[in-house]
Every structure is written in C-alpha cells, then in structure tokens.
Structure 1
Amino acid sequence: MPQTIDLNADMGEGFGPWQMGDDAALLDIVTSANIACGLHAGDWDVMAATMKNAVAKGVGIGAHPGFADLHGFGRRRMELPRGTLQNLVRYQLGAAQAVAAAEGGQVRHLKLHGAMANMAAEDADLARACYDAALSIAPELIIMVLAGTAQQDAARALGCATACEIFADRAYNDDATLVDRRLPGAVIHDPDAAGARMAQMVREGAIITESGQRIPTRIDTICLHGDTPSAVVIATKVRQALEDSGIELAPFTGARV
C-alpha cells in the first residue's frame, strides 16, 4: 500500500479588508486547513469565506485557536489561569463550529496556534488543559499535535484521536520543538529545500533537526504557514516532492497515539 500523508496550512488570518496570504491558492494544494478563530487573527467574515471555500474544495476544516493577541498575531506568550485558558479554547472552537455548520461543513480537527502551541509543546499539563477543553464540547474531534513533543504526550494520556504534525517551513531543535523565530534560519524560505526535507522526513519517519539529529516519530501531516510570502510556492514544491517520492496526499485518519 502506498504511503500517505496529509498536507495542512494555517489560514483565514486576514482581518476585515487586510488580506493575509493566498488562501484560495493554498486550498487547491492542501488536504486540511487550520482556520483562525478571530482572536489571534481572522474575523467572522474571513472565517466564513475561508470555510465556504474549504467545503467547496473538499478540504478538511480545523479550528486554530490562539491567545487573544491580534496585534502580536498570537505569538506572544501569556500566562492564564487554567479555567480561563480552557474557556478561551472553547470560545474559539464554538465559533468555528457554528460558522462551519452555516457553510455546510464541520470542524474535523483542532490545532493550537503560535505561542499557545509552543507552550503546550513544552508543558504536557498545559496541553492537556487545552485539549480537555476542546474535547469537552467536541468529543470526536481529532487533535493535531506537534510530533515528538509534550503535546503528543498529552494526547496519548487522553487517548483521543490524534494527528501528528511536522513543519515544512520551520527548523527544529534537538528536543523536537521549533527553533525560536527570532533566531537565524528558524523559518525556511527556500521551496526546494522545504520539499526535499519533507520527503526525507516522511520516508525516514523522523524529524531531522538543525544539528542533523534524527528523532523517530509518527508523521500524519505536514504544515505550511499561510502567512509566509512564499507559502504557495513552498506548498507546491512540498506536494511535488512527496508525490515524486511515491507518497500520496490524503486527509489524516486521526488514529489514537
């Protein structure tokens, strides 16, 4: 049986008349979309338009909640009481579910955004709090986790449906966390390099870090950041590199970790 992989992108991150990324073009390439829920980026109209387009193109819809930090694009760390954090996740997931239903679709998965995701990748208790909150209102939801991190540990402890993710356009530390965006080389802009490294990681079943270390891991999906200028070109090259390696693109199944 051919090896399969899902390709996802973060999108729906425009606001009012301000466009962020080329979501329409990405939706012709990816198989899953992580759509901003209006607090770190996006708004109700952007969310509705993005979800309507995803439904039309048969792309799986995911809620992409983050901190309420529109000015900082959700990339600034915040310390919140557990209950507040959980309500923040529920609030955004609920909005995503309502808008998806109105556009004839449904929210299939959830992926944390930005600083919230990075903190959850380091802290299994924080990750579990976020996932518990989401599952409390959507028990069948597939939780997308950063492969090899505390996010995956939290999902394993919960026994929930899970998709393990690696990044096409981000460099890795030796603990499977992402290199800080403030550091040189943290974001990969070369489409050919991104495509080649993704095909290699999927073939090897491992994250390849900046130091060249291999971290064996389950890989279900590859992410592209829709806000990067070369996102569409990177997505195209990654898809091509995967297909050239005999790897088929298909939505993840959400198997338990």
Structure 2
Amino acid sequence: MFLPSFQLENKVAIVTGAGRGIGRAIAIGLAEAGADVALLARTESNLTSVSEEIIMLGRKAFPVVTDVTNREEVERAVHKIYEKAGCIDILVNNAGMNIRSQAIDVTDEEWSKIMDTNLKSAFMMSQEVGKIMKEQKNGGKIINISSVAGHVALRTGVVYAATKAAMIQMTKVLALEWGKYGINVNSIGPWYFKTPLTEKLLQDQQYVKDILDVTPLKRIGELQELVGPAVFLASDAGNYVTGQTLFVDGGMTIQGF
C-alpha cells in the first residue's frame, strides 16, 4: 500500500488559542481524525464550548485555561496534560494576535504584547513539549501557525510580520535540531480566512477587493481549508516533511508584485 495514514487514533494533541477561529477549527479537525485534544486559551467559556464538540465526536478533551505568554502557566499546563493523557504527540502553536499600527506609531507595549503572544509563547510551548517528546523516544509533530506576512511585506502590521518571519525561521532551526529525536517541526502560513478576528475587516468591500486583487483563487479562505494541511502534517502522511512552511493562501505568495 502506498497511501499513508491520515488518521490520528491514539494520538494526543495540544492546540493553543483553541477557543475560537483557526485554533478551534484545527482542534475539532484533529479530533475528527481520531486524536484526543488538549485545548489551551484564556477564556474558559470558549474552551468549554470546543470541548463539548470534541466529546460529541467520541474523543477526549482536556481544556486548560492558560496564558501561554507566562512561563509558569505553560509549564503547569503541559505537565497537567502529560499527567492526564500519558503522552503528547502533537503540538499546534496557534495562539496569536495583531495590532494594526503603522510602524511609526508602534508603542513599546504593543511590541512586547505581540512578540510575547505570537513568538515567545510558541517557543515556550515547543520547548516544554519538545522535552517530553524527546523523552518519549517516539518522536512527535509540532506545527506552528505562521502567516504569509512572515514571507511577503504587507502594508501594516510590522510587529506581527516580524513575529511570523521569526516563527518561520524558528521552525527551520527546531526541525534541524530536533530531527534526530524524530520530531517533525513545520508551519502553516495562512492568508485571509473568515474568523472572528477578521470579520470586521472583511465587511469593508474595498479591503476585500484589495485582498482578492492579489489572490489568484479570488476568494477568502474557509476555516476547514486549514484543517486538511494540519492533519497531514500531524499524521504519518507527513512523516518525511520537516522544517517547511506550507502556505495556504489561495496562491497569494506565488506572485511577483
């Protein structure tokens, strides 16, 4: 047989920023593929809602209210999940935010908040989960949710772009360093998708036109279109892929401008 398994039975996944949007969609998608899923976010009500959906699929859910920018909370959450589940096979670093300031107006507070949420949290989660994956001696899959903004220049969001570019490079270095432990590290780079965070922006017809003008497929992405790539990278189907960024962008990054 040449078709590798896309199934995730008997796997335990962690998804950060799992309460809504991309994180919620990926968490539910991993559960649909067979994984039990630990859900990390700061809002308990959101985690409860996603947990209920996962349980309805016949999988286990481990909601843990966590501020992933805080080292002590990250350590506590990872330890708690490992203690409950007995293993950690998959980590999806999805927690993120943006403040759309022009570069000249960025404050020190904005810089620190975006850096901590987007980049520092992903590194700390990878570090703590990576220790466990190394000791388990059966490898693991780490998936970072980066962005096309880490690859091409956009008109605003300089700090966001810097975090996502750093995340793409971090993905490569961790893949190189941890490959000997059987740990695959990859990233997914979305363009515009319909999420609670983009809902207001996508009500602006001129803004949408500007997006579609540079998108060969001429439409905004749907959340389920990120789930397939995540399951691929988390499953045996992605076993020989590491250090890569898969842009799920309707073709946006293939062009010269």
TM (norm. structure 2) is 0.42
Query: Which is bigger in relative contact order (C-alpha 8 A, separation at least 6)?
Result: 1
Greater helix percent: which structure? 2
Whose radius of gyration is greater, 1 or 2? Answer: 2
